[in-house]
Amino acid sequence: MMYVSRHIYLLGAALVNLMLGLYLRDCTAGWRRVLQAIGSVMILLAPVLLALAFFAESPLGLAGRSWRTANGIYGLFAGAMLHLIAIAGSTMKSAE
Residues 17 and 50: beta-carbon distance below 8 Å:
no
Length of the chain as a residue count: 96
The pLDDT value recorded for residue 1 is: 56
Number of Cβ within a 10 Å radius of residue 6: 19
Task: Give mean pLDDT, residues 73-77.
Answer: 95
Task: Give mean pLDDT, residues 38-64.
Answer: 84
pTM beyond cutoff 0.85:
no
Q: What are phi and psi of 28, to 5 degrees?
A: -90, -30
Residues 57 and 68: beta-carbon distance below 8 Å:
yes
The pLDDT value recorded for residue 57 is: 76
Domain regions of the chain by residue span: 2-95
- Helix H or strand E segment including 67: helix 67-95
